[in-house]
Amino acid sequence: MNKLVLAGVLLITPMFAVPVSADQMEDLARAKQCFSCHQLDKEAIAPSFMTIAKKYKGVPNAEVMLADRIQKGGVAHFGNTPMPSEGARVSLSAAEANSLAAWVVNMK
């Protein structure tokens, strides 16, 4: 393996290896105002995170699809309430959207 590539892999690997707790993810969701519409396990303006997790369980590429929806918003896919588009709510990075999507999809 090229030494430059190996060095890059070694530098990047720790970023992905750091475990993130459910509490940290809940804090991120609160900071990004996700709880304005969603709740952990109760329906509100939008579906609960648990309802979303159940819908996406076993769906190929679920985290990717959900991260895209989290970041961009879009048409309603759980009823009549669309997810507000970017600009109409607190913005978040692709990394934050990916983290939140993984957290939700992997809820039990």
What whole-number percentage of the chain has pLDDT above 90? 51
pLDDT at 91: 86
Residue 89 lies in a domain: yes
User: Which residue range(s) make up the domain with 52?
Assistant: 21-105
Whether 84 and 71 have beta carbons less than 8 Å apart is answered as no
**Number of compact structural domains in the chain:** 1
* Nearest CA among 106, 97, 96 for reference residue 64: 97
Q: Is residue 10 part of a domain?
A: no
Task: Give residue-wise pLDDT tens across range 7-35.
Answer: 333 344 344 445 578 899 999 999 999 99
pLDDT digits (tens, 9 = 90+) for 88-104: 788 889 999 999 999 99
- Beta-strand ranges (E) seen in the chain are none
Distances (CA, A) of 5 to 40, 49, 68, 84: 41, 38, 29, 40
Any domain includes 12? no
Query: What CATH number does the domain containing 80 carry?
Result: 1.10.760.10
